[in-house]
A and B are shown apart, each in its own frame.
Chain A
């Protein structure tokens, strides 16, 4: 049974239908990526998983359990953490306080301390800036903080929405290396990206979303080699 099972998901924003029956599976231990153009419905899919938008149809099962009707703060407790689009760091709090908020749902002090140490080893640049207000971090550092913060919830499934957005190529490389490392230590990852090239290199499997529908899904390698994806998302090379 997949860890996350999305069946026929539809989402409306008022009169606009953003998703038309999307189905996605994510198995334990995988990195799965959703790629697609602007406005395809990638973020909407993640918002629906986290409970930020209510589906108008279909089902989302996590570990076999329907998430329907649960508020966002309870879905986190089941083991799903999201680093949202635009990072959503708390710029009025310090870096350290942002990390503490990431562990908000946990009570195991020792475990939190261990995960904090580990997050700071993954992102040494954050370790140097713990007492700094998070709003003063650079874009890349803010993205690191968003991922580190999600890590502190000790999720079974991590949702990452465009972690490469607006970052210089070298920082993107670093971030993707760390995403793989997080996955290697047992966290399942659902990764939304416009940077299809990087995403398909990191992922095991991928789904291509166009105007609210899944139009292709396959092994990441096969997708990267397919003509459609190369033409539409990889600039034809």
Chain B
């Protein structure tokens, strides 16, 4: 019973992080019909920028002030949002009418660029001030900005405040996104562009602006996931480490399992992947946690290739 509850809570926490990242994959796919392979790196940057901000703002030692967490979270979201905007502008927009394979290769290039730039050691002015950006080749430890108190205990499970906050913030952001996409004029424009950009332009929608906005939103959510992941699992591997790539990949699997292009599907897919991974690790074998995730992907692709919530598209002529 204890183990069941503990696994359930970890599954929801990890799953909601996958969901936040998966949303970025799925939204960009929905609009541009390409897989932004650099998106997982934005998640990594979200964690590292959070660490850098926390370190430079002096939140590393002792008890951080109450505003440390929101400040670092919002700062990381803002910087990564800016990065997403810039990448789209510089790397993807010039390829708007190019074959999709070119864009795909460019995305892999952007991904390698981010990973390797992240490994540059701090030099000169930066090094003198002890700034951690660029992030270097060593792992770091994220300061605990969210209070690590135990909220209460049920049947031997310690419900930690940090877990509750991770889940709470992730769900709040997903709720916000759900509202944005399905409840606002801008969200309607996003859905229209995703269906047919030419006709959307005929309606007066500035398609390029909607695409920029989509990249910013996706990057902002990935950054939030990066911050939350770093708070839950504070040892940060160095930027090009394979764990980051694997996490990004699993989030991508979540998007595919939920139905790529489908916002609600990405959320459901993320939670499902988190559950499968952690339950498999707890009850079967912890060494095979990645295997469960990718087996689920294979099963979904065989049984329902369009994903759990994806729709097999039927177009009327």
Closest Cβ of chain A to B198, distance in Å, is 6
B316 touches A73 (CB 8 A): no
* Chain A residues near B (Cβ < 8 Å): 50-52, 71-73, 76-77, 81-82, 84, 86, 88-93, 97, 100-102, 104-105, 135, 139, 142, 149, 153
In the docked arrangement, what's the CA distance between A96 and B206, Å?
21
Stretch of B82-90, B185-193, B252-260 lying at the A interface: B185-193
Determine the distance from Cα of A77 to Cα of B205 in the docked complex, in whole angstroms. 10
> At the interface, yes or no: B203 with Cβ under 8 Å from chain A?
yes
Question: Shortest distance in angstroms between A137's beta carbon and chain B's nearest beta carbon?
Answer: 8
B209 nearest CB neighbor, chain A only: A73
Which of A52, A73, A81, A104 is in CB contact (< 8 Å) with B185? A104
Q: Report Cα–Cα, A170/B310, bound state, in Å.
A: 37
Q: How far is the CB of A79 from chain B (nearest CB, A)?
A: 11
Alpha-carbon distance between A91 and B205 when the two chains are bound, in angstroms = 17
Q: How far apart sit A88 and B194, CA to CA, in the bound complex (Å)? A: 13
Number of A-B contacts (CB under 8 A): 73
Q: Which of B195, B202, B204, B207 is within 8 Å of A91, CB to CB?
A: B195
Per-position 1/0 for B253-279, Cβ under 8 A of A: 000000000000000000000000000
Pairs of residues from A and B, 9 with the lowest C-beta to C-beta distance, nearest first: A105-B204, A88-B199, A76-B204, A72-B201, A104-B204, A73-B206, A90-B195, A73-B204, A92-B195
Asked whether, in the complex, the Cβ of B192 is within 8 Å of the Cβ of A76, the reply is no
Contact B202 A100 (CB under 8 A): no
Q: In the bound complex, do residue A93 and residue B195 qualify as a contact, i.e. CB atoms below 8 Å apart?
A: yes
B30 nearest in chain A by CB position? A92
Are B205's CB and A52's CB within 8 A?
A: no
In the bound assembly, the distance between CA atoms of A72 and B203 in angstroms comes to 8
Interface residues of B in 204-218 (CB under 8 A from A): 204-207
Q: Beyond the given A88-B196, A97-B191, A149-B203, please list 4 additional residue pairs across the A-B interface where CB-CB is below 8 A.
A: A73-B207, A82-B202, A90-B199, A101-B189
CB of A210, distance to nearest CB on chain B (Å): 26
Give the nearest-CB partner of A139 in chain B. Answer: B316
What are 7 residue pairs bridging A and B, where the CB atoms are less than 8 Å apart in the complex? A52-B202, A72-B198, A73-B204, A86-B317, A88-B198, A101-B205, A105-B203
Beyond A90-B195, A92-B195, A135-B316, is A100–B206 a contact (Cβ under 8 Å)? no
A90 and B316 alpha carbons, distance in the complex (Å): 11
Q: Once bound together, how far apart are the Cα atoms of A97 and B189, in whole Å?
A: 10
